[in-house]
Amino acid sequence: MADKNRKKGGCFRAGCLTAVVAVLLLVGLGGWFVHQRSNRLPARFVLSVPLTGELDERPPDAGPFPFGKGRHLLSFEELLTILDRAKTDRRVDSVLLRIDGLGASPAKIQELRSSIAALRKSGKKVTAFLVTPEDKDYQLAVACDSIIVQKGSWMTLDGLKAELFFVADPLKKLGVSFQAAQWKKYKSAVETFTRNSASPENLEETNALLDDAWSDYLDSVSRQRRIGKDAFRKVVDSLAVLTPEKALGLHLIDRVATERELEQEYARRLNKPAAELLVGGREYLGATGGMRPQGGGDRIAVINITGMIVSDGAGGMSEGDGTDVATVKEALQTAIDDLKVKAIVLRIDSPGGDALAASTMLELLNEAKAKKPIVASMSGLAASGGYMVALAGDKIFAEPLTITGSIGVFSLKPDLSSLLEKTGIRREVLIRGRFADAETPFRAFDDASFRKFVELTGTVYEDFIAKVAKGRHMTPAQVDAVAGGRVWSGKRALEVGLIDQIGGLGDAVQEAKKLAGVKKEVKPALLYLPAQKTWLEYLLGSDTSDMVSALTAAMVRESLGQLQPLSRLPGAGIARFLLRTDAPQVLALDPVEVVIK
């Protein structure tokens, strides 16, 4: 095909492609110089940081072009970096958090509240500006010095909920069912596909998570706003939706104003036009060095394991869907080879995934720990396989509302035999060996095959238990007593010995610094891994086919950006695993999520 295209000429010719690359490089360099000039910060300014959406742990790859990234929301690690740098930046007069439609996990909200508290302690005033806020927005806003709600909007404070979806009955109508080996009864991930309602065990653990989140919500509002818990609970149960003026009268907020009024107030106080006064979060991050480590001193490597844990990046997992073994191996090698890196912080925001992949990652991490200390920091979710990889940490940190534990495994096998019958499709199979056709999705297991299916799951579970017992210095019986698929909040995980300490990324970095013997007065730079290339590195290090592929992928992402991601749908993560192969899957995965809305 390539030869034919070369004969035809056009832009498949080498000369034409070289010219295109040269033009793109010139455009890119021009954009870079403009970007550098725009990153000169005023001597005094208000740092304006938007907080919206899910707050993904890591930012997307910059890609091969110096434009478009500004559209992406700030990631969680970027937000933490911005707030940390602002503490000691004398140019930052105050911080304005523009909170609108926050969808982050309860644990991430807790960690942001801690960062805001540290920012206030440094002497910076922090203001929250809310637009039609809901519970998550308000729960974060109460950590600020003052809360302003946009005039003409409304507040929806109607409490918390946990959503569970079950698709077994509708799938049966299509002729699709599942056989599951659930080890043990608390490993409720399979219930989405095998039941039409929640089991008592599923309800027990979900209610426990919801209780912890509700208690934290009431406590934080009561403490920060000096409102009785019963009084705030009455607002939620009787009002639910209220005007900003009503909220002001109840002392839930401090002011009602338009965004323009707020900007004019800043302009009068600092005697500067608002356009010159307000500096956006991404602009500030770029002007202060981005996410690259600054200086030539000691470093702490922060290795991210986010999303589904998979054996490789292929098989239906798209960019940003998960973390594979090769990526972790490369990141660890970078951290070990870098003599400036004194310790590693393993940052986990994952529900788990492929049990074998998680086990392989743990083996790699344990090997690395023999060379440099490792501390595990759990973000919003570090459950099942996500908890397994945390076992490599010399210490494990989590927020009180981090979802963790779920020590258990399950296996799922789809049975499409009824679907074939409904559609009239006939299947004839010739085999050599009794179990040669046992794993097919086109018929159910017989008794002997199902026993082997269950035994395999049990073997993986026992291996998981042994890993936890070794990593946490417990007996297998002690681990089994808190395992069996049980899900724990970080607060409860501390009580049963599954983690070592309550704290966020900053606390984990301090512990890593201590274990590495770094002097107290030294503040090591953070090296985030896997390293993300800049557009220029991407451009110079790629051949033409890579660039075309990257541009195509970027265009597709932009086109689909406004659509609801399939990963948000119930059971989508498990379904994606099942589509990777026609063989049954053994997963260390947990789908429990407490939704604050």
Among candidate residues 204, 192, 194, 191, the one with its CA nearest the CA of residue 486: 204
| CA atoms lying within 13 Å on the CB side of residue 534 | 13
C-alpha–C-alpha distance, residues 480 and 464, integer Å: 10
C-alpha–C-alpha distance, residues 489 and 501, integer Å: 13
| CA atoms lying within 13 Å on the CB side of residue 9 | 0
Copy the structure tokens of residue 131: 């637009």
Copy the structure tokens of residue 486: 């049980």
Active site residue 318: no
Selecting among 48, 177, 377, 384, the annotated active-site residue is 384
Selecting among 187, 342, 413, 513, the annotated active-site residue is 187
Please list, in sequence order, all residues whose beta carbon lies within 8 angstroms of the beta carbon of residue 204, skipping any fewer than 6 positions away: none
DSSP state of 236: I
Q: Is 371 exposed, middle or buried (0-12, 13-18, 19+ CB in 10 A)?
A: exposed
Q: Where are the beta strands (DSSP E) in 399-481?
A: 403-405, 409-415
Give residue for tokens 């509700």: 214
C-alpha–C-alpha distance, residues 542 and 561, integer Å: 25
Active site residue 329: no
Please list, in sequence order, all residues whose beta carbon lies within 8 angstroms of the beta carbon of residue 529, skipping any fewer than 6 positions away: 301, 302, 303, 304, 331, 334, 335
Q: Which residues are catalytic?
A: 187, 384
